[in-house]
Amino acid sequence: MRFSELQQLEFPIVSQGHQADWQPALEQHLPNSSLLTQWLLDPDSLTAKLKRHCQHFSVEVLGQRPGIIRPDEAKWLTESADQEQANATIREVILCCDGKPWVFARSVFPQSALDTAALKLGQLGNKPLGAHLFAQPDLQRSRIEVSTFSAQSRIGALHQCLGYPAHSLWGRRSCFTAAGQRVLVAEVFIGESIPAQIAATLIQDNTHD
């Protein structure tokens, strides 16, 4: 792992006992920053957007292996409540711009999606998931949900392990449907990212009020 400081953190970073407070992306749930809100609500590929902000884009894979769907994730991926404990593949990565961490991304998808040849989910390696999804001709995307992550959360700990000061972070998630399969993708802005820097500034402004 290139970010050796993260070896002290167990995979998955987001575990059963650390659930976010995901809310619909309505005005009352959004940050007091139009630029940060634009990042959260951007309907296009985040991978493509990150590539426009750097010379070299890369993906650091923290892990991809079978795991248990969390209840707040199951509502997107299963048809009934009694399937909440169904197995799924969990993929967690850090998206980097010019070698610096910008996004922690967590993707969850059932075995059927992993077995679907068109999606190539079992062959991702260090390639971005978004590039595969947005290449699908029948891609559909659910509404966006947003959440904050405190400095005490697992993602907050990851952010600090990478050498960044403790503060709350913003993330978003949505469910993609393609080739008859669903893939739930959550993205939290960390590190050097513009949204993370804005989030830190918002906290400082509130402190000074």
3-class DSSP assignment, residue 38: helix
DSSP state of 10: P
CA distance 149 to 169: 5
Amino acid (1-letter code) at residue 97: C
Give the CA angle between residues 131, 45, 31 to the nearest 5°.
Answer: 145
Q: Which residues are annotated as a binding site?
A: 91, 129, 187
Q: Which residues are annotated as a binding site for substrate?
A: 91, 129, 187
CA distance 134 to 138: 9
Torsion 108-18-103-147 (CA) sign = positive
Q: Are strands 100-109 and 181-189 parallel, antiparallel or unpaired?
A: antiparallel
Is residue 106 within 8 Å of residue 69, measured between CB atoms? no
CA distance 12 to 185: 14
Amino acid (1-letter code) at residue 11: F
3-class DSSP assignment, residue 64: strand
